[in-house]
Homo-oligomer: A and B are copies of this chain.
Amino acid sequence: DIRAAIEVFFKAGPLQGKRIIVTSGPTHEPIDPVRYIANRSSGAQGTALARALSALGAEIVFITGPARVAPPAGVAVVAVESAREMAAAVEAALPADAAVFAAAVADWHVTTASDRKLKKSKDGLPHLQFGENPDILRTVAQRTVERPKLVVGFAAETNDVLENATAKRVRKGCDWIVANDVSPETGIMGGAENAIVLIGEEGAENWPRMSKEAVAEQLAERIAAALTYIS
């Protein structure tokens, strides 16, 4: 609407003058020119979050893998495919006041990726070797220079959500983890709704299930409050 457009134009709102990196969507890890490893992230939550942060006045750098939903209007978009490309784009986007890593980044890439379409080997099966991808969340969270004031990671779990995500926050060194249960029966990954647990230093908050837009708006408000408090 017009009011939102004017607000964005004048960068009014509590995040005016703040630069925030948001990653979103899946990554694709090539096996050969036609095959790749993907994941079911649609980019819906990351996109909604970038839109909500932008509506609060932030300057957004939106770094997205091949998502199913279109990127938000009015933000700088960097389109990438693999985790390694995403890591490079995040490094290039620093410094920033906050970084919100909503993308579902592959942990591994195929080190034996081929320039030609893979043919069946003698035993009929492919032999893929994997290498670890850069850990974007940990790398940024543990920076000693130019660390964003607020680093937010996401944890997509299928079991022991709270334990896994709480451990992840400590292991990565980030400020918050937004955790959710992406078991197929929840319909969350690829769906319209989300039910998150927001984990910070003080503990964990269970948010009720709501639309991804509502989650985004409330997270954006919390990020705005945190940045005001920190700076």
Residues of chain A at the chain B interface (Cβ within 8 Å):
28, 31-41, 104, 106-108, 115-117, 120, 124-126, 128, 130-132, 156-159, 182-184, 189
Contact = CB atoms under 8 A, between A and B. Distances in A.
B108 A126 contact: yes
Contacts of A117: 156-159, 182
13 contacts: A33-B182, A34-B39, A34-B182, A34-B189, A35-B37, A35-B39, A35-B40, A36-B39, A36-B40, A107-B120, A108-B126, A116-B158, A117-B182
Contacts of A106: 35
A121 to B, nearest CB: 10
Across the A-B interface, the 9 shortest Cβ-Cβ residue pairs = A117-B158, A125-B130, A38-B38, A35-B39, A34-B39, A116-B158, A34-B40, A33-B158, A124-B132
Contacts of A37: 31, 35-38
Contacts of A116: 158-159
Contacts of A31: 37
Contacts of A128: 128
Contacts of A38: 28, 35-38
B120 A126 contact: no
A157 B159 CA distance: 41
Candidate in A34, A124, A184 with the most chain B CB atoms within 10 angstroms:
A34
